Amino acid sequence: MEPFRALAQPWWVNLLILIPFVAYVIFRRKGLTLPVRLLVLVTIFGIAFGYVEAAVVVYLRAAIGLLPGYMGTLSDVARLSRQAYQQAKAAGQMPQSLLTVELFREAATMFMLIAVALLSASRAADRWAIFLWAFAFWDITYYLALWATVCWPFSLTNDDVLFLIPVPWISQVWFPAVVSGLTLLAILLARGRRGRTH
């Protein structure tokens, strides 16, 4: 297990921790009009999309030779890859051709999450909340799906490459998990407050 590190790299990635708090203040002031049905549907989308993202990472690992045992069962992969794979070092080992594909895939991911938000709501605050809601479920499911399929991350202190655009964003797994969890909580609390006042 890697030692706990509080800060992500580059420094500005740490500012992401402000998103749930800023979102809560904005949503509380402007109010959210998100029906439960919409949140459920966006949750299903986020979970499915998170699994797809995890599957892509598993395929990339296999393609560049960083997934021992992938020709066997998932149990073989989990047993053999536990110590062999380090996500944060994978970007440096990725061939340029796959790195280019990965950059475009990341951009496409953001466009898809934005499109869901734009299609789901008409008010700006609601759209922003839907984007954050989908993003948070996508992010949490990504890590859970990787853990369920290839037993990574082994710990919340494992390093990960969050994004590659414009440079690699590197943090321990706990950081995006906390930001996503707090974001979901901020939306629920803001939505609940709106429900009590109207």
- Looking at residue 45, the DSSP 8-state letter turns out to be H
Name the burial class of residue 161, with classes exposed (0-12), middle (13-18) and buried (19+) by CB atoms within 10 angstroms of its CB.
middle
Distance of alpha carbon 146 from alpha carbon 138, whole angstroms: 12
Q: How far apart are CA 89 and CA 152, in angstroms?
A: 14
Contact 179, 22 (CB under 8 A): no
Mean pLDDT of 123-147: 97
**Statement: residue 84 has pLDDT above 70:** no
Model confidence pLDDT, tens digit, residues 14-72:
999 999 999 999 999 999 999 999 999 999 999 999 999 999 988 888 888 777 777 88
Q: Work out the mean pLDDT of the chain and round it to a whole number.
A: 89
Q: Which residues have CB under 8 Å from 147's CB, separation 6+? A: 153
Model pLDDT, residue 79: 74
According to the model, what pLDDT value does residue 50 have?
97
And the tokens for 195? 């429900």
Whether the ω angle into residue 3 lies within 30 degrees of 0, i.e. cis, is no
Please state, in angstroms and rounded to a whole number, the distance separating the CA atoms of residues 59 and 65.
10
CB 126 within 8 A of CB 26: no
Give yes or no for residue 140 having a pLDDT over 70: yes
Is residue 1 within 8 Å of residue 93, measured between CB atoms?
A: no
- Dump the DSSP string for 75-88: HHHHHHHTTT--HH
pLDDT of residue 65: 77
Q: What is the mean pLDDT of residues 150-177?
A: 92
Q: What is the mean pLDDT of residues 133-152?
A: 94
Looking at residue 42, its pLDDT comes to: 98
Q: Which residues neighbour 128 within 8 Å (Cβ) at sequence distance 6 or greater?
A: 23, 26, 117
Residue found under tokens 């954050």: 132
> What is the rounded CA–CA span in Å between residue 90 and residue 169?
13
